[in-house]
Each structure stands twice: as structure tokens, then as C-alpha cells.
Amino acid sequence: MQDTTTTETIADEAAVDLRDQIRLLMGDDKRLSQNRVAREAGISPTTLSQWLGGDYPGNNAGVEAKLQRWVETTQAARAQADQMPAAPRYVKTPTGERVIATLRYAQIAEDIAVVYGGAGLGKTTAAEQYSLQAPNVWLATMTPASASVVPALQVIAEALGLMNVPSGANNLHAAICRRVAGTGGLIVIDEAQHLSETALDQVRAINDRTHVGIVFLGNERVYARMTGGNRAAYLDRLFSRIGKKTPLRKSVAGDITALLDAWAVEDPKCRAQLTEIAGKGGGLRTMTKVLRLASLYAAAEKRDLNTEDVRAAWGELGGAE
């Protein structure tokens, strides 16, 4: 019997199959709008819409080649994500509990506090956990772009859910104060080392007016900026209002033990390797990244974590051999 299947028919069937794959991926992940798929695939939303409807008048083969690459990349990323071990969302550690105790003090006492120290010690994670435990806790994360007064106030306003506030420092400050007054709440300023002295003082003024608790989280620079240099006299009204100061020098043994236990790392040699990594730059954050990658290596081979996994992950993340 003669095969009458034509090249055109095969191409049509492949296109139908590709459409089904794309619709399935979009159905499984509600974040995948047509606009996002088009953007990630490198085609226009109009082209994708027409092609999905089967009536794109242009170069269908070229569009399908791009969409096929997108499907393959997306499926591969999902498969890897399924294998990637999830880090415990929150592990109670001595350092994390110190941070939470400071946050709780500032909220109850309607005071200003500062938590400062090296990166990767769990300050942000502890603040996020506290926000789940206590009412009216708002986390505003600063960046270099929010160093001055108006951008800093805009970040706080967004964290409070305030939209369409008229521009200007006075309007933002007034809107923020109206929102938090009488709530018994807490504003957490994360990455506070990015704020200028003037911006730090402006945030302090929110506490003066409303008595809402405020906690500055950051590295050593935020504390130095509040206390020293040729601006010391200017900042006295800020520094003198800090009711609690919590320095975090480095992770403590209890932090590392708690995390390793949460990850179910039992091998003594692996624990020793990871403890050493936690003592380097990046602290607990770096150790957790190494743990995730090393655990992925082990999971791919369906076995327990070993020292070679840890060594390979540490090297992959830029650690020393």
C-alpha cells in the first residue's frame, strides 16, 4: 500500500501537537500568559495569538522553530525544578530568634531598633517569619536606587499597599503616617545600609509622629552611618532614639547545627565541610546554596549526600578547591 502522507500533512500534525503542548504548559502555570510566552519565545503577542488560532499569514515554520525551542527549554526547567530539593522555609536558629526578639521589642515598645551584621545570617528570613506571626508588619527592602528621601518613602508606601500617592516627600510622609497611626504595627527597613543619612532621619520621623515600631536591618555600614563621622551631631536625634541594638558578628554553632539537622545531613564529614563553608563570606546563605546544589547532585543519582557532592557544589558556586 502506498504511503500518501505528505510532508505538508506531517508539518500540520506537528504544529497541532506544538499548539497542544503550549496550551498545556499555559494551563499548568497560570503565570504563563500569551504575552509572557511570546516575549520569552522572541515573537510578538499578535503573532502568537494568530498562530495559536491557526491563521498566522507569515512564516509559520520560523515561528514554530522558536516556539519549539521555548517548549523544550520550559520543559527542561520544570524537570530540573522538580528535582531541586527545597530549602526548609524557616529554621529556628539562635541568630534568627535574636532578630525576632528585636522585632517583637520594637513593635510592642513602639520603638526604633537596629539589627546589623554580615550578609547571610538570616536577618531577612527572620523578618519574613515574624511578619507571618504578628499583625501589621510591613517589610520594605531598600536598594541603591532608594537611597534618598523620596525613593525611600516610595518603597515604604508600596510595602504598605499605598498606591497613587501624590508625588513629593511631604505627601508620601503624610500618607504613610495616616496608614500606620494607631495600628500598633512595625515597619522593617531591610538593606537599610543603602539609605542616606537624610533618608534614615526621615524614616525616624515616622516613628516620632505615629509611634509605630521601626527596625533597620542591614550590614555594619548602617550602624556606622547612624553613629559616626562628621554627621554625628546631625544624627544624634536618630541615634538617641534607638531603643535596641542587635549586632550579629557571624553565625553561631547553633545556627549551623539547626540548619544541617533541618536538611537531614547526617554524615559527619559532610557536616564538617558545610560548617567550614558557613564560616566564610555569605555565612548561612552560602551554606544553604551549597546544600541545595549538592543535594541535587545526590538526588539525581538516587543516593545520600556525600563529601564529593559538597565539594563539587562549593566549587561550582565559586568556592576554593
Domains along the sequence of the chain with CATH? 7-83 (1.10.260.40), 94-248 (3.40.50.300), 253-316 (1.10.20)
**Which residues partner with 245 through β-bridges?**
114
Check residue 31 and give its pLDDT. 78
Which segment of 40-49, 135-144, 174-183 scores lowest on mean pLDDT? Answer: 40-49
Whether the per-residue pLDDT at 285 is higher than 60: the answer is yes
Which pLDDT band, with edges at 50, 70 and 90, does 9 fall under? low
Per the model's pLDDT, the better-predicted residue between 71 and 188 turns out to be 188
Per the model's pLDDT, the better-predicted residue between 5 and 239 turns out to be 239
- pLDDT tens digit sequence for 37-79: 999 999 999 999 999 998 899 999 999 999 999 998 888 777 6
Helix (H) or strand (E) holding 314: helix 307-316
Check residue 2 and give its pLDDT. 46
Which pLDDT band, with edges at 50, 70 and 90, does 8 fall under? low
> Residue 211, SS3?
coil
Q: Which residue, 110, 91, 116, is CA-closest to 227?
A: 116
User: Where are any strands of DSSP class E within 83-136?
Assistant: 112-117
- pLDDT tens digit sequence for 201-227: 999 999 999 999 999 999 988 888 777
> pTM of the prediction?
0.72
> Residue 125, SS3?
helix
Check residue 304 and give its pLDDT. 86
Whether the per-residue pLDDT at 262 is higher than 80: the answer is yes
**Contact status, residue 265 vs residue 305, Cβ threshold 8 Å:** yes
State mean pLDDT over 306-317: 90
**Contact status, residue 25 vs residue 70, Cβ threshold 8 Å:** no
- Residue at grid coordinates 534568627: 96
Which segment of 23-27, 34-38, 74-78, 278-282 scores lowest on mean pLDDT? Answer: 74-78
DSSP state of 110: T
C-alpha cell at 230: 562628621
Whether the per-residue pLDDT at 7 is higher than 60: the answer is no
C-alpha cell at 220: 555594619
d(CA 113, CA 79): 44
The percentage of the chain sitting over the pLDDT mark of 90, rounded to a whole number, equals: 59
Check residue 228 and give its pLDDT. 62
d(CA 262, CA 59): 53
Could you give the count of Cα atoms lying within 13 Å of 192 in the half-sphere of its Cβ?
33
211: left (phi over 0), alpha (psi -120 to 50) or beta: left
State mean pLDDT over 229-237: 57
d(CA 282, CA 157): 30
Per the model's pLDDT, the better-predicted residue between 170 and 27 turns out to be 170
**∠ CA 161-222-108, rounded to 5°:** 55
> Residue 190, SS3?
strand
Whether the per-residue pLDDT at 140 is higher than 60: the answer is yes
Whether the per-residue pLDDT at 229 is higher than 60: the answer is no
Q: Which of 14-18, 89-93, 121-125 has the highest mean pLDDT?
A: 121-125
**Which residues partner with 115 through β-bridges?**
217, 246
State mean pLDDT over 243-271: 91
The residues, ordered by sequence, that sit 6+ positions from 37 with a Cβ below 8 Å of its Cβ are 22, 26, 48, 70
* Encoded amino acid at 9, one letter: T
State mean pLDDT over 76-93: 71
**∠ CA 248-293-277, rounded to 5°:** 35
The residues, ordered by sequence, that sit 6+ positions from 279 with a Cβ below 8 Å of its Cβ are 250, 251
C-alpha cell at 81: 525544578
d(CA 265, CA 269): 10
d(CA 20, CA 25): 9
Check residue 112 and give its pLDDT. 95
C-alpha cell at 321: 578547591
137-141: strand order across its sheet: 137-141, 186-190, 213-218, 112-117, 242-248
